[in-house]
Amino acid sequence: MSESLSKIIREEIAALGPMSFRRFMELALYHPALGYYASGRAVFPSLFHQDPRYFYQGSGSVKSRLIHALSWAVIVRSDSGHSMPNYSYLLGDLTAGALSNLYYPRANRGAGLVFTNFAIGVAGRAGEGVMREFVTKRLTRNVNGNGKP
């Protein structure tokens, strides 16, 4: 869950008191800008026939593994297993950034906010790829050494 959505939930709890599980899940899944289904993690991959999962490389030089991990932010596998631009994530991030404009005061809205949020999202996803490639493999035994599904 993003820090922005966490803040919205905390503010609602502060204003209205305890939050039901139903309301929490409603915000987490369906918030128009920050919810799971608005994030591009669910809808866009289906539309573009993309597999948004990270595939562990695990072998090769540190440089090749780093490039693989960083490229996950902009390159994914298609349903047929070929590499392609990550339209689903990039479009989802742009859509979420554009919708988030509705929650900011009019003076703070604009393309700058959208593209700043977009850049932060892409950088965060690249960082997540690096963490998955170099850190989380050591924490689980359920990943094949070659990263193939």
Domain boundaries of the chain, sorted by first residue: 49-139
pLDDT tens for residues 111-143?
A: 888 888 888 888 999 999 999 898 887 676 665
DSSP 46: H
pLDDT confidence band for 148 (50 / 70 / 90): low
Which of 73, 134, 122 lies closest to 94, judged by CA?
122
Q: On the CB side of 73, how many CA atoms lie within 13 Å of its CA?
A: 19
Tokens of 90: 């990039």
- Report d(CA 12, CA 115) in Å as an integer: 27
Tokens of 19: 């939050």
Mean pLDDT over each residue of the chain, to the nearest integer: 83
pTM for this model (two decimals): 0.62
Which of 74, 115, 109, 73 lies closest to 97, judged by CA?
115
